[in-house]
């Protein structure tokens, strides 16, 4: 893919470009907790987005998407988001750099990737790859952390999704064979060495993406914020659901209307599950780790209501299959992938069983995506 992007750049724009790469991410556990200052447990994967970039001595930026086979041009000093357009992720990053006071000049950029499914955060990978490329092109002294924060802000302002920090963070800071135990309050992480012994992570791509996923995501975030406002009557110092102790759930239930309580309950218990899951992994206790994945799914589905019939079917079917340690929906929800931890000797049967059952129920050929925990964003020589 790297050579293809470099070649495509040379064909379109000529001069030899700088090349950057940023990976997609998985999340072991800790869903919809990042925007409530919670804990998450993601990792970068080997698949990602490549960006080729070079200055063009023009007042415009010419950007080309390899996947869409399409060019888009914008004036470096005057541009705005275009609803639903792939160019928003580049323009959004340029806007963030400018906002921070960096003077940028016109550039040419080509990007493309090999992220095989939705739910692996290709948008964060693209933003981080563009940020990494811009920083190298203009020789800016800019930290990885800043690139992560710009990517998050860019997604808010140019894509309209009020996401948390997890996805760009994992893309920027990923480490081979490690997951990142990230505290979204301090924006600091611990690298946790992951050894699944004779087991592997396998994603199942449901191949569905339900409409309104972005607006439902923003709504979930709003309901958490609404809960916090109400809970401030008994926890005056609380700023997010992270501040509510899991032992106090009964008190929380008495204070919140049921709809809000169920959403808050998910976030509060999910943060605790991340704690427990990281401990279980440290102790090589895969059985407890798997049980927490199942609890996470149930909570996301029943209480937080971000699953869908297809993801529920895949998770529920997986729980019953031999050799499956854990299975749950992954990411924002309403489609995308499940993440599964499976004993190596059961991998083949698992795929056959899931493929057949899913095809029979929904008429869709599910895809299976093996993932390995990999390095984060970088400039390629
Ligand atoms: C999406 C968001 F971008 C993340 O910030 C996170 O909230 C995730 O959904 C759910 O855990 O990927």
DSSP assignment of 303-353: IS----HHHHHHHHHHHTSTTEEEEEE-SS-SEEEEEEEEEGGGHHHHHHH
CA of 105 to the centre of ligand 1 (A): 32
- Any ligand 1 atom below 6 A from CB of 127: no
Q: Are 26 and 339 in contact (CB under 8 A)?
A: yes
| Ligand 1 pocket check for 164: Cβ under 6 Å | yes
pLDDT at 212: 66
Which pTM does this prediction carry?
A: 0.97
Q: Return the best residue to mutate from 151, 182, 332 for the ligand 1 pocket (most ligand atoms within 8 A of CB).
A: 332
State the ipTM, two decimals. Answer: 0.99
Q: Is 31 in the pocket of ligand 1 (CB under 6 A)?
A: yes
pLDDT exceeds 90 at position 15? no
Residue 139 placed within a domain: yes
Q: Is the CB of 332 under 6 A from ligand 1?
A: yes
Residue 118 pLDDT grade (very low, low, confident, very high; cuts 50, 70, 90):
confident
Cα 40 to averaged position of ligand 1 atoms, centre (Å): 10
Residue 357 contacts residue 46 (beta carbons within 8 Å): no
Cα 371 to middle of ligand 1, angstroms: 19
Mutate which of 25, 42, 217 for ligand 1 pocket (most atoms within 8 A of beta carbon):
217
* Residue 163 Cβ contacting ligand 1 at under 6 Å: yes
The alpha carbon of 289 and the centre of ligand 1 are apart by a number of angstroms equal to 21
Which structural domain range is residue 83 located in?
Answer: 2-194+375-379
Residue range 53-88, pLDDT digits in tens = 999 999 999 999 999 999 999 999 999 999 999 999
Residue 184 forms part of a structural domain = yes
**Residue 338 belongs to a domain:** no
Give 197-260 as a DSSP string.
TTEEEEEEEEEEE-TTHHHHHHHHHHHHHHHHHHHTTT-TT-SSGGGS-GGGHHHHHHHS-HHH
**Which atom of ligand 1 is closest in space to residue 119's alpha carbon?**
12
Q: Helix (H, G, I), strand (E, B), or coil: what is residue 158?
A: helix
167 catalytically annotated: yes
**What is the mean pLDDT of the segment spanning 216-222?**
94
Q: How many domains does the chain have?
A: 1
In a domain, 172, yes or no: yes
Gap from CA of 218 to ligand 1 centroid (Å): 10
* pLDDT for res 271: 98
Cα–Cα dist 323/259, whole Å: 36
Average pLDDT, the chain: 96
Query: What's the CATH number where 17 sits?
Result: 3.30.230.10
Q: Are 109 and 90 in contact (CB under 8 A)?
A: yes
Overall average pLDDT of the 266-281 stretch: 98
Give the closest residue (by CA) to ligand 1 atom 11.
31
Gap from CA of 119 to ligand 1 centroid (Å)? 9
Give a yes or no: residue 127 inside a domain. yes
Could you tell me if the CB of 34 is within 6 A of ligand 1?
A: yes
| Res 65: pLDDT | 98
Q: Which atom of ligand 1 is nearest to the CA of 124?
A: 3
Q: How far is the CA of 75 from the centre of ligand 1 (A)?
A: 31
Q: pLDDT (tens digit, 9 = 90+) per residue, 231-265?
A: 999 999 999 999 999 999 999 999 999 999 999 99
- Ligand 1 atom nearest the C-alpha of 33 is 11
- Ligand 1: which of 164, 215, 330 to mutate, most ligand atoms within 8 Å of CB? 164
Annotated catalytic residue, options 34, 67, 167, 214: 167
Task: Give domain status of residue 158, yes or no.
Answer: yes
- DSSP string of 253-275? HHHS-HHHHHHHHHHHHHHHHHH
Provide mean pLDDT across the span 159-184.
Answer: 97
Answer whether residue 102 is part of any domain: yes
pLDDT of 211 over the 80 cut: no
Whether the Cβ atoms of residue 171 and residue 25 lie closer than 8 Å to each other: yes
Q: What is the mean pLDDT of residues 185-209?
A: 96
Calculate what percentage of the chain has a pLDDT beyond 70. 99
């Amino acid at each position: 893919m790297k050579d293809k992007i470099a070649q495509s750049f040379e064909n379109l724009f000529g001069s030899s470009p700088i090349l950057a790469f940023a990976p997609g991410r998985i999340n072991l556990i800790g869903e919809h907790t990042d925007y409530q200052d919670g804990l998450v447990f993601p990792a970068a994967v080997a698949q990602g987005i490549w960006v080729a970039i070079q200055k063009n001595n023009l007042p415009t930026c010419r950007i080309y998407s390899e996947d869409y086979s399409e060019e888009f041009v914008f004036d470096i000093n005057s541009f705005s988001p275009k609803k639903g357009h792939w160019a928003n992720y580049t323009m959004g990053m340029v806007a963030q750099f400018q906002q921070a006071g960096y003077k940028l000049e016109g550039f040419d950029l080509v990007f493309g990737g090999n992220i095989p499914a939705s739910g692996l955060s290709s948008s964060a990978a693209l933003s981080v790859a563009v940020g990494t490329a811009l920083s190298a092109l203009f020789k800016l002294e800019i930290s990885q952390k800043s690139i992560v924060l710009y990517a998050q802000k860019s997604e808010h302002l140019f894509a309209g999704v009020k996401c948390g920090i997890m996805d760009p963070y994992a893309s920027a800071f990923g480490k081979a064979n490690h997951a990142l135990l990230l505290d979204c309050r301090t924006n600091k992480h611990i690298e946790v060495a992951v050894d699944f012994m004779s087991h592997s992570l396998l994603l199942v791509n449901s191949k569905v993406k339900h409409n309104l996923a972005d607006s439902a995501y923003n709504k979930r975030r709003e309901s958490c914020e609404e809960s916090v406002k109400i809970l401030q009557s008994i926890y005056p110092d609380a700023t997010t659901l992270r501040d509510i102790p899991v032992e106090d759930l009964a008190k929380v239930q008495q204070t919140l209307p049921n709809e809000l309580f169920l959403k808050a309950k998910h976030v509060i218990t999910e943060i605790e599950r991340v704690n427990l899951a990281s401990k279980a992994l440290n102790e090589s206790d895969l059985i407890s780790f798997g049980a927490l994945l199942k609890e996470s799914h149930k909570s996301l589905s029943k209480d937080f209501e971000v699953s869908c019939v297809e993801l529920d079917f895949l998770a529920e079917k997986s729980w019953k299959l031999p050799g499956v340690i854990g299975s749950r929906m992954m990411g924002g929800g309403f489609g995308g992938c499940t993440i599964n931890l499976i004993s190596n000797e059961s991998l083949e049967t698992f795929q056959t069983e899931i493929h057949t059952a899913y095809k029979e129920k929904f008429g869709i050929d599910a895809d299976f995506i093996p993932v390995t925990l990999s390095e984060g964003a970088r400039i390629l020589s």
